[in-house]
Amino acid sequence: MKPHKLSLYRLVRKGIIHILLIAFIFSGLPRIPAEAQDIRLPVPGVRISISPPVDPPVLKGIKVHPDNPFRFDFILDKGDSGIADDQLKSESTKLIKYFLASITVPEKDLWVNLSPYEKDRIIPKSFGLTEMGRDLLAEDYMLKQITASLIYPEEEVGKKFWKRIYEEAAKKYGTTNIPVNTFNKVWIIPEKAVVYENAKAGTAYVVESKLKVMLEEDYLSLEKNTPDFVTL
């Protein structure tokens, strides 16, 4: 690939990363009910809109009991969901199942992948047996559809996105007639977690947690140069 093509290619990829961050930070992905046996997702090619900002229920803390290592008490933040009773119990049960899956499935297997270039590498077998793995695949599918919908050139956000791309291309290279591969693989990984621990009380509370969206070349560089690097 020629240098000017490579630069524009990266420009498009970074633009898509910004859209992914917007989708994560300012809107909630459609939630998959824990009790659903048959997940119905939008068919490929259908444009979808992002949902309003949401602060969903999350597990924020845990209490362990030294005298009974199989007993855990969980601290749940209901967010702004407004759910209660049976619905709250169902959501809490799902989140607890996620927690149990995360401590029983090996860390190296906590990933999903819907790259069109790796059809035989979608999800590890052990993780695919869990509700967390199934739901994460569904969320990844929805995220890709949201991204494709946002950069659709006939809609408002897509028009602004491609207008910016072509303006930058014209400014740097004097032309917009440059082929671009829009199949871009990005990685979403844990970036930071701040956990408050009280050993005497046997409790731990997540104060802060963040995800990071990376270009594949940056991810591979980080994986290569960071000891004990683990992806989720």
pTM of the complete model:
0.72
**Average pLDDT over every residue of 131-149:** 89
Q: What is the pLDDT of residues 155-172, one digit of tens each?
A: 888 898 888 888 887 887
By the 10 Å C-beta count (0-12 exposed, 13-18 middle, 19+ buried), 111 is classed as: buried
Q: Enter the tokens of residue 112.
A: 């999903």
Contacts (Cβ under 8 Å, ≥6 apart) of 232: 107, 110, 111, 189, 190
Measured torsion, CA atoms of residues 138, 143, 144, 149, in degrees rounded to the nearest 10: 130
232 falls in which pLDDT band (50, 70, 90)? very low
Q: What is the pLDDT of residues 72-120, one digit of tens each?
A: 899 999 888 788 899 999 999 999 999 989 889 998 899 999 888 888 8
Is the C-alpha dihedral spanning 33, 38, 44, 45 positive or negative? negative
128 falls in which pLDDT band (50, 70, 90)? very high
Q: Which residue has the tokens 């824990």?
A: 34
State the average pLDDT for the chain: 78
